[in-house]
Structure 1
Amino acid sequence: MKRLPSLQTIQAFEASIRHGSFTRAAEELHLTHGAISRHVQKLEDWYGKALFERQGPRVRPTVAGEGLRQRLLDPLHGLYQALETPVRPRRDALYLSTLVSIAQTWILPNLDDFKQQCPNIDLTVATDYQVLSIPPASKVVALRFGQFDHRGLFAEKLLDESMVAVASPAWLARHGADPAHWPTEDMVVHTATPWPATLKTETGVTRLPLAQGARFNDAQLCLQAAAHGMGVAWTRSQMARTALERGDLVAIEPLRQQSDRSYWLVCREELIQDPTLVLFRRWIHDVIGGV
């Protein structure tokens, strides 16, 4: 079997056809005009046919030269791909502003899934209580619970919510499920979601004692206080779901009512079609759809 021409010879041939000039092929490959001419002559000798017609400073492929060029296209492309240094996928940064309760309910338990679904997004999770502002052109998305004022932003309702009274099994064993017998100092209070004075149930209206227990400005802390046996808390069903499933808390039925607040996704209008925001919205919808 004949020894194949060198890669530089084949490159000289390909560049000469592409440019229609030995001179320009030489400039591209950082060779002299004479070196290109010698490489082409070697390939013609090896191939046994003329590959170019010389027309002054210009060259054009013969039928044999064009046929060889066509056959070399795929092998050369494959060689370039094999030798090309892999380029790391471009990474995008996304800043998520949310509540501690939402972060612990939906974000943290599903972060591994987020990394798999969105491997090129660097997610920063920041917890705070209000959407003060979202800077223009910043990839910032907020997840909130409340009655959201759009204020010129894109606001999408994700999920409605219900409120329920919960307590630890040990606390219920001591005090029972009848609100009339509850110590008022054991009714744990979330300052942003105070206890209702009455609740409508299937048997009528239940009056609740005045809540005078420990007060917390964070819903997750309020829930944890109830799980630690400090009393009964009025909390969001979604937030309490995991603790209820584990048996750390018990829902006191029928002390439940539909909330007038919902979960919202918020971002700037001009970013709603941004690929990073599109991926995050799709992911959070999947998370919420699975609850």
Structure 2
Amino acid sequence: MADPLAGIPLASIRVFEAAARLKSFTRAAEELGMTQAAVSWQIKALEGRLGQSLFRRLPREVQPTEAGERLSSASTEAITLLRRAITDLTEADEHILSVTTLATLATQWLAPRLGAFQLANPGLAVRLDTNPALLDLNREGFDVGMRSGHGDWPGLESQMVMPSVFTPLCSPAMAERLKLKTPADLIEAPRIGLEKEWAVWFAALGLSSEGRKQSTRLTADYQVLEVAAALGDQGVALASPILFAREIAAGLLVRPFEEMVSFHTGYYLVWPEGRRRSPKIKRFRDWLMAQADADPAVVAARAGNEERTAEKAKALRP
């Protein structure tokens, strides 16, 4: 039986996959560094060789036909597998670990510890990127990511590193000035952060801030910026006692109340499906989990989460 792939250039499949995924010859051309005419020619040549149309040409986009959909799914999977295999086999790539993560997590927890990882792995350089978006790790050239959520992202495997918990933090001077005695005192205190997140914290304690005169006075894109405002005596921030454990230990920040809430399950290490056995990913994953296990703030937050989960389960029992 003749090989159905005989005579079909891999370049044509690559062009087809990009056009089908992006639903645009123009965007496919931009991604692949080609002209739109070259993309169109490759598609026509592939359609001619297969003897059937793969796209419906619409005014502003292209839509795969039924045959195109079948080929699109298979070609995307095949190219992804090829990309992973080539990445794992490339010697130069094995000497660089590319990590994308959140800015506050990077500056407050990960970056101060990376020196220890590099000392233990002198042949592996780390490239650290901060980006709030969950990037396509394969296409953006990253080996692993650290993200907040519930651990269920399509195309990624994940492992929880630490729980995501938030508690009020402020400077000692602010705590003294406000004379905070109970969590209810924070309702009319100058607060930093999103009002809806504060509402979750108050609700966890059976309180409501709705309709009260004081609301949050400052919000920022990054948690570290909101805590910087708290360090500057501008109010009380709702932030992670794990990520700001050094400032708490140094007495720069205080926790007026111990109560914590979670807005999502935790912070996860993620990597593309099928790359669990990559030596550099395994080394980083093992090191990262050991760092989390040795962090007293992480251990305390895990214990608090387990206690809250047990209390909820007990309350739900008939």
Please report how far the alpha carbon of residue 188 of structure 1 lies from its aligned counterpart in structure 2 after TM superposition. Answer: 0.4
Please report how far the alpha carbon of residue 211 of structure 1 lies from its aligned counterpart in structure 2 after TM superposition. Answer: 2.8
1:257 alignment partner in structure 2: 261
Alignment pair present for 1:164 and 2:181: no
Question: 1:231 & 1:100 partners in 2: Cα distance?
Answer: 22
Contact 1:95 1:124 in 2 (8 A): yes
Alignment pair present for 1:120 and 2:157: no
Q: What is the TM-score with the length of structure 1 in the denominator?
A: 0.61
Question: 1:115 & 1:275 partners in 2: Cα distance?
Answer: 15
For structure 2, the residue ranges without an aligned partner over 5 or more in a row are: 1-91, 296-318
Higher helix share: 2
Question: 2:276 & 2:261 partners in 1: Cα distance?
Answer: 33
Q: How does 1:1-291 map to 2 (within 5 A)?
A: 92-135=95-138, 138-177=141-180, 178=182, 180-182=184-186, 186-190=190-194, 194-196=197-199, 198-201=202-205, 205-208=206-209, 211-291=215-295
For structure 1, the residue ranges without an aligned partner over 5 or more in a row are: 1-88
Contact 2:148 2:264 in 1 (8 A): no
Question: 2:131 & 2:194 partners in 1: Cα distance?
Answer: 16
Aligned length: 199
Please report how far the alpha carbon of residue 283 of structure 1 lies from its aligned counterpart in structure 2 after TM superposition. Answer: 1.2
Question: 2:235 & 2:110 partners in 1: Cα distance?
Answer: 27
Per-residue deviation, residues 50-104 of structure 1 (Å, max 9, x unmatched)? xxxxxxxxxxxxxxxxxxxxxxxxxxxxxxxxxxxxxxx9961111100111112
Q: What is the TM-score with the length of structure 2 in the denominator?
A: 0.57
Distance 1:98 1:136, change over 3 A: same
Higher strand share: 1
Question: 2:146 & 2:140 partners in 1: Cα distance?
Answer: 18
Question: 1:131 & 1:123 partners in 2: Cα distance?
Answer: 19
Distance 1:277 1:254, change over 3 A: closer
Per-residue deviation, residues 90-125 of structure 1 (Å, max 9, x unmatched)? 961111100111112222211220111111111111
Q: Which amino acid aligns with 2:159?
A: E
Kindly report the root-mean-square deviation, in angstroms, between the aligned alpha carbons of the 2 structures: 2.6
